[in-house]
Amino acid sequence: MSTPGLQLTLGVKTDPVEYRFSYEWLFRLLAEEGVRHVQLGTFTELYLLPDDFFVDLRRLAESTGLCITSVFSAHRELGGFMRFDHPAWEQAARRSYQRLIEVGALLGAESVGSSAGAVMRDRPSDKDAGIRRYLAHIKELMHVAHEYGLKALTIEPMSCVFEPPTLPDEIRSMADELLSYHRRHPASTVPVGYCVDVSHGYANRDERVVWDNMQLFEAALPYLDHVHLKNTDSIFNSTFGFAPEERERGHSLAVSLVTADFDGYRLNLFDTPGAAELLGDVHPVLAAADTALLREWADAAWHALAGLRDDQQPLLAAAGAALAGGCPLTAWLVWEQLQRSRHLSLGETLRMEYAISLNCCRYPDFSEGVRARLIDKDQAPNWHWKQIEEVPETVVAAHFQPTWEGPHPLADLG
């Protein structure tokens, strides 16, 4: 008796195309390369576009010999099931997921899916309740997917304990519960499988690999539906491609909301896989930052934050050191922006940013920063004002003034 082998069908996920190239271009390129299967990566407008858009997109794919086999989230836009700060998060996630199922059916896809979502980093106690709520919704959505003619729903295991399932026990327990539900309702539900990223592993706060990517892959293998092939670094901190230059540099840097250099890696405080393990309790970090920023004057905030360069928390120390060596004028401008933009609309904020960016070019610190960081790369900028107290208030205020005549160039933003 022979053991059945695992059959893999090669395809391409459309994340890289997103807002850069047309689907017509991508489908033609894939057809020329002999690729026949596409996983459509989601984008913001997907949940709002009319049915006709997806009917036409399916026709476009089929006209080039392609099949849109599945649809999968490219971001974390369906993570509201695990948020408890407002009921609207859960409601929005449910509506969006149901629309994702509808879109998959319109495209002729066999499956749709996403990651399960993320527990708020400052509310780790919500995790168990978040998983229960998520599983309850997925069980109901298994019925919806069956009604629309899909064959499966998929979930992506992640690399951070805030984004379950992560560890082998979570991977097995969540999948077993959903498959057990499907076995009890085989005539009215679709099964749930994993869409596994082979670059996902688990490292603790000491950067010690507890479960490598192949061990987690093996845990998910009995429930496998799709595989994402990506490259990764030694602690699964980032994913990237397989081009020669990417292999040579060892890891790629992803710029996001809050980053800091730590032991040779650039970390994102809220979005890097393994953030909980690297940071431990996030409350002291947030409290220290808030205490420093909530000062009445810019110089007081600057000294408070810069003073953290000797803090025992590595990320706070890195942030403090970066600020202490940075441009004092820039520090004051950022603080001033925080004060002025609290109640501005998006259009008003962008108009303010436009004025600041133009005015920055009028002062010597901008060119000096470019010289020190990008041209000579000596990392030793000679700032015009050495301390934040030396920066004239009139100079800061001038950065917010118009440099043009007539209406604001971004006046049509509303």
Query: Is residue 4 domain-resident?
Result: no
The pLDDT value given to residue 256: 32
Same domain assignment for residues 249 and 336: no
Is 104 in contact with 96 (CB distance < 8 Å)? no
Q: What pTM does this model have? A: 0.59
Query: Is residue 199 domain-resident?
Result: yes
Query: Is residue 56 domain-resident?
Result: yes
Is the pLDDT score of 347 beyond 70? yes
Same domain assignment for residues 108 and 201: yes
H-type alpha helices, 11-126: 23-32, 51-63, 87-107
The pLDDT value given to residue 238: 60
Please state which of the ranges 227-231, 280-284, 303-307, 358-362 shows the lowest mean pLDDT.
Answer: 280-284
Same domain assignment for residues 248 and 140: yes
Is the pLDDT score of 246 beyond 70? no
pLDDT in tens, 84-119: 999 999 999 999 999 999 999 999 999 999 999 999
Task: Select from 203, 238, 191, 198 the least CA-distant residue to 219.
Answer: 198
When mean pLDDT is compared over 38-47, 130-139, 274-283, the highest value belongs to: 130-139
Query: Is residue 278 domain-resident?
Result: no
Is the pLDDT score of 202 beyond 50? yes
Task: Name the residue with tokens 């020190």.
Answer: 372
pLDDT in tens, 169-188: 999 999 999 999 999 999 99
Can you read off the two tokens belonging to residue 323?
């600020």
Task: Select from 8, 34, 32, 29 the least CA-distant residue to 17.
Answer: 29
Structural domains of the chain, count: 2
Question: What pairs with residue 155 in β-bridges?
Answer: 114, 194
Q: Give the end of a domain, one of 232, 254, 276.
A: 254
Going by their DSSP bridges, the two strands 209-211 and 202-203 should be labelled as: antiparallel
pLDDT in tens, 7-49: 667 788 887 676 788 999 999 988 888 889 999 999 989 999 9
Q: Rg (Cα) of the chain, in Å, rounded?
A: 25
The pLDDT value given to residue 338: 81
Query: Is residue 347 domain-resident?
Result: yes
Range of the structural domain that residue 99 is part of: 11-254
Query: Is residue 100 domain-resident?
Result: yes
Is 113 in contact with 153 (CB distance < 8 Å)? yes
Is the pLDDT score of 387 beyond 60? yes
Same domain assignment for residues 76 and 207: yes
Percent of the chain topping pLDDT 70: 80
Query: Is residue 300 domain-resident?
Result: no
- Does 259 or 208 have the greater pLDDT score? 208
CATH number where 125 lies: 3.20.20.150
pLDDT band at 77 (very low <50, low <70, confident <90, very high): confident
Same domain assignment for residues 135 and 237: yes
Q: Give the end of a domain, one of 228, 254, 280.
A: 254
